[in-house]
Amino acid sequence: MNPISLLLLAGIVALVVFWVRSLPQKKRGGAVILLVLVIVSLAIILMAITGRLHWIGAVFAVLLPFARQIFPWILRLFPFLRFLYRRRQSQQPQAGNVSEVQTRILKMQLDHDAGVMYGQILAGPMRGRELGDLSEQQFIELLQYCRAEDGESARLLEAYLNKRFGDSWQDDDPGETTSTAPGNSHLTRQEAYQILGLEPGCSREEIISAHRRLMQKYHPDRGGSDYLAAKINQAKDCLLNP
């Protein structure tokens, strides 16, 4: 394979990875399965065009006599694979890796590990919909609704749009960007715990560590927003200075 083809392939892989990571976490598994099916289908089509499809039949024919010996071994592997899966799940951190910021119109989750945001609409004409399902025009309509009904929701949605699309969405925005300050909304201790992804009763060190980890992902200098950084700081101050 020549260098140009390698660069093109690397670019396609990078775009696919970026697309999968930009999806809501609930939809990533389905997207990966779809990609695998597309890759397998393209490989079969390519082999058919180049006249190499017969190799699949040849490999199958060679393995067929050994199927009776191989199949029992495959069955024995399933409990081991299940054990590995459960062990991996148990080793993954269960606390402090997802934060939640909720306003009157939106509920947003912040994935600490992937550094992405995903959320749901709680009120208004689009109530019940996932943000990841909206079109560009629907985002603008939702933003206009938030600006008219709740400034805090508008600031949160703008932070989401900046994180997901950069500054490109502002070209289609007919209005003015809402102030990035978090406003004067009172933050309860429960809300502060949710923003930092912590449980009540956590230590001072855990609060500081969660704050530092979130700021590394959502600070404006790292692709975040002034609004989210202010909310994270507000949550830390609420818990450390009751």
Tell me the three state secondary structure of residue 1: coil
Q: Tell me the pLDDT tens digit for each residue of 31-41.
A: 777 777 777 77
Q: Tell me the pLDDT tens digit for each residue of 48-82.
A: 677 665 666 666 666 556 655 655 555 555 555 55
Give residue limits of the domains in the chain: 3-91, 98-240
Burial class (CB in 10 A: 0-12, 13-18, 19+), 39: exposed
Q: Is the pTM of this model over 0.85?
A: no
CATH assignment, 98-240:
1.10.287.110
Helix, strand and coil percent figures for the chain, each rounded to 5: 65, 5, 25
